[in-house]
Structure 1
Amino acid sequence: MKKMIISALAVVLLITAGCTDLDEQILDETSASGLSQNEIVEGNVAAAYAVFSNLFNHVNYFNLQEISTDEAILPFRGGTDWGDNGIFIGMHTHNFITTDPRIRDSWNLIMQGISRCVTAINVIPETSEGDATIYVAEMRALRAFYSMLSLDLYGLVFVKEDVNETSEILRGEEAFNYIASELEYALPIVPGNIGPGRMSKGAVQGLLARLYLNAAVYKDRYAENFTFDQSDMAKVIEYCDDVINSGMYELSTDYFAMFDDENHTNPELIFVYDQRAELNGHNRMAYFSLSGDMYPLPEFPNANGTDGPGITSDFYDTWEEAYAPMDPAVTDPRFHRENLIIPSDSCMSADEFEINRGILRGQQYGLIRNENGFERCEGGGYRIGKLYSRSRNRPDLAVNFTRQIDYTTPGSQYSAGYRVEKYEFSKKSSSGRNFGEADIVLIRLADIYLMRAEAKLRSGGDLAAALADVNMVRAARTARFTAPPLQEINLDLLFRERGFEFYWEMQRRTDMVRFGKYEGVWTEKTDNDPHKRVFPIPQTALDGASSIPGYLEQNPGY
C-alpha cells in the first residue's frame, strides 16, 4: 500500500446541516480524467481520514471529553473572553443544550466521517486496485472507529452499506455488537506496519480492547451500577496481549517525547491523527491553555497562547495527595518538564529558548514582547524575564498561574488556574494556531497496559499482574527520573493513575463514566443526572430527520 497523500481531488461528500437527512450527494471522482485507479482509491481513503483535522481540535472532541470533566475548566476570562454564549460553562457544569454549536459540530464531523467511509467502501471495489480488499477492510475499521465515537458521545450508531440507503439506527447492545463485528472483520486483513496514522492491526486491536472495556456502559447506558461481564474482560485482556506480544510497540522512555513535533515515529504510538507539516495540521492543543502573554517561538512574535482552560483544583489535588509531602514535579516525570531554568532576568539565544511542558504553576517567565517585537539583549540574544499581562492591557498583572480557577471574579482572571502544555508548541506555527506538527495521540501502548490492568481488576483476577502492568508503565519513563512504583492497586488507584498518564488526551469523560464518577461533584459542577452520560442529539439533526416520523428520537433527559 502506497503512502497516502490528501489530495484536492479526494471524494467530496456534501452533508446536510444535521447529517441525518441521509439523501447525500456524492461527487464520484471515478469520472475525473487523468486519475489512476490507485489515485481514485487513495483519494477516497484520504477523504475519510481528513475529518480528523476538525474533529480532534480544541473546541470539538477535546471540549466534549475534557471540559465536561473534573480535569479542565474554562471560565469567562476577565469576565468577557471565551464567553461564547456560555457554552464552555454549560459543558463543564453538565447543562448541555441541543443547540450547543460544539456538540453539533462534533456530531456533524463524526457523521461526515462515517459517510465518507461508506463512500470509500462502495467506490473501491469498482476499481482495478489490487489491494482493494485491504483498503475496504481499513475503511470498515475506520467507520467502526467513527461509530464508536458516536456511540460513546451520543448513544447511537447509524448503519448502512450503500450510499443510497437510509441508515438504520442502533443503540445499546445492538450498536456494540455492530462495531465489534466490523472491527473483528477488519482485524485479520489490515496491515500491521502502515504507521500510526492509519488503521493498522495494532490500532484495531486497541480499539477492540477499548470497546470491550466499555461494554457495560454501551450496553446499559443508564445502569445504576455497571456490570462488567467476565467474557468482555477476557476479550480486553486477549486484545491487549496481542498488541503487547506483537513486539511492534515500546513504551517511551521520555514521556513528553510522545507529544513532541517529531513524535510520528515514537515507538509507543499506535493510532494518531497524522498532522505532520505537509498535511497542514493545527497547533490548537498546544496553544489552547497557554497565557496570551506567553510567546514560545523567538522567530514568530505573533505566535502566543490564548488563556483557555486550566486544570481544576480537584484534579491538581490528586497529584498533591498522591505524592505529599513531595512536590509531584520532582516525583513523577509526567507532571512537568522544566526546560526554562533561568534567573529572573537573563538572556538566551533562539536555539536555547524552550518553554516548560506539562502542568505549569506559579510565575511564568519567557520572551518579553513590546510594540517593536521581542526585547533583545546587547549581545544579540533575547531578554527573558517575568511575564505580565501586557496583551490584556494589564502590564501590572503578573502571569502567575494559581491553583484557584472557577466562575468567581478571582477565579476567572487571565492568570487563574494551573495550565497544561503537554504537546510541544509547533516550531513552525507562525500564528500559534496553525501548522501543528505533532501527531495527536489517540491510542498508545501505555493505554494497552492500563486497560489490561483494569480488565484484570474488574474480573477479580490477578491483582499482582494488574499492579505489574501499572508499574511497567511508571517504570518506563526513565529519561529524567522515574516515578516510584505503586505498592498496591485497586480501581480507585487505577482511575487516579489513568488521570496522571492520560491527562489532556481526550479520555477523561469516557473514563469517568466507566468508573462511576461522572455524576460526582467537582469545581462548579454539582449535576448528578445519569442522562448526562451522553450528549443531546443536536437540534439540527432532529430537524433534518423530521420528515421521517419516529426515525430519530432525542436521548432521554433532554
Structure 2
Amino acid sequence: MKNIYKALFLCGGLLFWSCTDLEEDLIGAIDRPVSIDEPSTAFDGGGNGGNDALSVAYSKLRDGSASSGGYWAIQSVSSDEVAVTQKGGDWYDGGIWIDMHRHTFGPSNGPINDTWTSQYGAIAACNDLLKTNLDANQTAQIKVLRAFFYYRLLDTYGRVKLVTTPGQDAPQSSRAQVFAFVESELLSALGISAVSASMDLSNSPLTTDVNPYRVNQYAALGILAKLYLNAEVYTGTPRYTQAADAASYVIDNSGYVLCGVGCSVPNPGKRPAVDSDPDNLEGYAAVFAPNNQNNPEIIWSIAYDGVTGGGMNFAHMTLHYSSQFTWNLVSQPWNGYSALEDFYNSYDDNDARKKANFIVGPQLDYNGSAILDYAATDGQLELDYTPEINELEPNASRKGGARLGKFSFRLFGRDDQDNDMPIVRLGELYLIRAEGRARAMNNWSLAEADVNTIRARAGLAPLTGLNADNFLDERGREMFMEVTRRQDLIRFGKFNDPWWEKTNSDPHKKLFPIPQPQIDASNGTLTQNPGY
C-alpha cells in the first residue's frame, strides 16, 4: 500500500493581513526535489509579458489582482461567490473578512485601503511613462491602461481624483466625471468619437496585433464594453446598445475564438499515479491553466509567472494545509478562501465548468493515496472538501467549502502561480453582447443565441425561456473568480439581498467607502461617500 501523508496541526501561520493565523506542519516526504528550473518553458505563464518601455506600467496589473488583501479579494468576498471563514483564531484578522462578507465594512478596512493605493500606484506609473518619449501606439496603450485602473476606481469607490500629471494633486471628481474621463480616453485611443455598429477604427494608433500582454484595439473595445454595460449604475444613463456594439465588433472582426473541443494544453497538474487526472486540459479549463499564455480566447491578460511575475497565489489562499501534498507544492497553503455552497450548487453536475472551477471530495496525494488530517476535530481524518460550510464564524470547518480551482495548479508549484489572469476574453464578450441586446430591447430572448454558445462549450443543452434571473445565473457560472460578480449583482439589483450568513445590507454598500487613511492625508480634498 502506498504511503499516506499525514498532517499534524500545530500552530503559526501566514497570510497577507495577519501573522496570527493557525497553520499545520506536514509530516511526509515530497516525492522529488523541486528544482529551480521549474516551471519549464512549456508551462511558462508569461513572465513580465515582454520587456519593453511599457513593462513597468503593465507590471502594476499584478498588484492585488489575484491575491489576498487587494482588488480581487474585496470584489469577490463582498459577493455571493466566495467567503473567508474564521476557523478559530485562523483568518479572523480583526474581522475584516467577516465584515466584507456581511457588508458591515467601513472606511478603516485594510484591504479597501490597499486596493485604493495599488490602483493609484499603477496610475502614477502610467503618468510617469506618459511624460517620456513614447510613440503614438505606446501612448495610446498607456492611456488605455491608465483608463482601466480608473475604471476600477470608478466601479469600486465612485468619487475619486483624476490625477494625470506626476507630482500634482487633483480635486475629487463625481462618479459621472470619472466615467466620462475613462470613456474619452478609450475612444481617443480607438480613434473614434463614439461606438456604433458601423464604426471605423482605421485612425486608431492601436494595432490589431495579437499579444495578450499588450493593449490592442480589441482589448480597448473590451474595456469599453464593460464600461457601457455598467453605465446605468455609474451615471444613471443606460448605454446597453453601445456595450453590445463594442462586444460584437470584437466577436465579428477579430481572430479570437472560444476555446472549446480540440483547444487543449498538457495538464501541468497531472499526477502520474492518479488516473482521474486528465493528461490534457481542454476547453474552458484550458483558458485558465498554468500554461494558458497562448490561449486563443484571451484578448488581454495579466502576465503572472512563478519566477519573474509573482502575485497570483490562489493555491495558498484556498487550499487546506495538507493539500500541499496533492501537488507537492513548495510551501504549505493557508486554508482561507472557499466558495459558498449555494453558488457551487447553482451548477448542473454535467456542466464542465463545475469540475474546472471547484475542488471537492476526498483528496489524494501525488501517489494517489488518501491525505489524512490528524488535526481534524470531527473524527474524520481523511481530507474531504465538502460544499457545506457549518458557519462563517467563529469556528468554521477547516475542510468546509468547495475550494477555488478555476486557475488550476501545477505539480511542484511555487508560492506564485504561472496562470495568466484574463482581463478581456471572448467568452465574456459573448455575454456582454447578449445582455446589452436584451436590455436595450427589453427582450431577454435576444440573449439566447450567445448564452447558448457559451453553454455549448460547457457541454450543456440550449436554454430557452431566458429571463434576467437565469441570465445572471448563467453569467455567474461562466465568470466565477474573474471579479465581475459584485458588478453583476449590483447591476441586477441583488447585491444588497440576503445570502448565506448575510442579511439585507444598506444600499450605500454598493460603493466602497473612501479609505479613511486617504481622507486623513488629503487635507480636506477628499470627502467620504454617503452612508459611511
TM range (shorter): 0.7 to 0.9
Partner of 1:354: none
1:190 aligns with 2:219: no
Hey, what's the Cα distance between the residues in 2 that align with 1:196 and 1:399? 38
CA deviation map 1:60-112 (0-9, x unaligned): 112111111111111112x1111111111111011112221111111100011
The structural deviation recorded for 1:428 is 5.2
Hey, what's the Cα distance between the residues in 2 that align with 1:67 and 1:308? 11
> Structure 1 164/364 Cα, relative in aligned 2: closer, same or farther at 3 Å?
closer
Partner SS state of residue 553, structure 1: coil
The structural deviation recorded for 1:182 is 0.3
Partner of 1:150: 153
Hey, what's the Cα distance between the residues in 1 that align with 2:182 and 2:108? 28
Which of 112, 115, 139 matches 2:121? 112
Q: After the TM superposition, which segments of 4 or more aligned residues of structure 1 sit over 6 Å from their partners?
A: 391-395
Task: Compare 159-168 and 439-448 and name the one that shifted more.
Answer: 159-168
Hey, what's the Cα distance between the residues in 1 that align with 2:408 and 2:325? 10
Hey, what's the Cα distance between the residues in 1 that align with 2:358 and 2:474? 16
Partner of 2:455: 474
In structure 1, what residue type is equivalent to 2:500? T
Partner SS state of residue 279, structure 1: coil
Hey, what's the Cα distance between the residues in 2 that align with 1:97 and 1:426? 37
Hey, what's the Cα distance between the residues in 1 that align with 2:395 and 2:340? 11
2:326/2:364 contact within 8 Å kept = no
Partner of 1:291: 320
Hey, what's the Cα distance between the residues in 2 that align with 1:183 and 1:50? 20
Partner SS state of residue 271, structure 1: strand
Partner SS state of residue 365, structure 2: strand
Unaligned runs of 5+ in 2: 1-49, 191-203, 261-282
1:261 aligns with 2:285: no
Partner of 2:302: 273
Hey, what's the Cα distance between the residues in 1 that align with 2:412 and 2:295? 20
Partner of 1:75: 85
Hey, what's the Cα distance between the residues in 1 that align with 2:393 and 2:224? 45
Partner SS state of residue 191, structure 1: coil
1:246 aligns with 2:253: yes
1:406/1:523 contact within 8 Å kept = no
The structural deviation recorded for 1:411 is 6.6
Give the paired residue count: 447
Partner of 2:275: none
The structural deviation recorded for 1:528 is 2.1
In structure 2, what residue type is equivalent to 1:135? Q
Partner of 1:205: 221
> Structure 1 512/173 Cα, relative in aligned 2: closer, same or farther at 3 Å?
same
1:517 aligns with 2:520: no
Partner SS state of residue 169, structure 1: coil
Any residues of structure 2 matched to 1:348-359 within 5 Å, and which?
Answer: 357-359=356-358
TM-score (norm 1): 0.76
Unaligned runs of 5+ in 1: 1-40, 126-131, 221-227, 320-327, 337-356, 368-381
Hey, what's the Cα distance between the residues in 1 that align with 2:424 and 2:375? 37
Hey, what's the Cα distance between the residues in 2 that align with 1:283 and 1:48? 18
Hey, what's the Cα distance between the residues in 2 that align with 1:456 and 1:260? 31
Partner of 1:305: 333
Hey, what's the Cα distance between the residues in 2 that align with 1:133 and 1:216? 32
Hey, what's the Cα distance between the residues in 2 that align with 1:150 and 1:391? 42
Hey, what's the Cα distance between the residues in 1 that align with 2:361 and 2:394? 15
Partner of 2:427: 446
Hey, what's the Cα distance between the residues in 2 that align with 1:492 and 1:526? 20
**Larger strand percent:** 1
1:335 aligns with 2:354: yes
1:410/1:416 contact within 8 Å kept = no
1:292/1:391 contact within 8 Å kept = no
> Structure 1 552/428 Cα, relative in aligned 2: closer, same or farther at 3 Å?
same
The structural deviation recorded for 1:393 is 9.3
Hey, what's the Cα distance between the residues in 1 that align with 2:311 and 2:162? 31
Partner of 2:177: 174
In structure 2, what residue type is equivalent to 1:288? M
The structural deviation recorded for 1:178 is 1.0
2:159/2:529 contact within 8 Å kept = no
In structure 2, what residue type is equivalent to 1:316? Y
The structural deviation recorded for 1:242 is 1.0
In structure 1, what residue type is equivalent to 2:382? A
Any residues of structure 2 matched to 1:23-38 within 5 Å, and which?
Answer: none
Any residues of structure 2 matched to 1:471-550 within 5 Å, and which?
Answer: 471-477=452-458, 482-546=459-523, 549=524
State the identity %: 30
1:457/1:490 contact within 8 Å kept = no
Hey, what's the Cα distance between the residues in 1 that align with 2:443 and 2:166? 47
TM-score (norm 2): 0.79
Hey, what's the Cα distance between the residues in 1 that align with 2:386 and 2:97? 20
1:293/1:390 contact within 8 Å kept = no
CA deviation map 1:363-396 (0-9, x unaligned): 22224xxxxxxxxxxxxxx3x2222224779985
1:87 aligns with 2:96: yes
Hey, what's the Cα distance between the residues in 1 that align with 2:168 and 2:419? 38
Which of 106, 109, 132 matches 1:97? 106
Hey, what's the Cα distance between the residues in 2 that align with 1:95 and 1:409? 14
CA deviation map 1:23-76 (0-9, x unaligned): xxxxxxxxxxxxxxxxxx976522212222222122211211111111111111
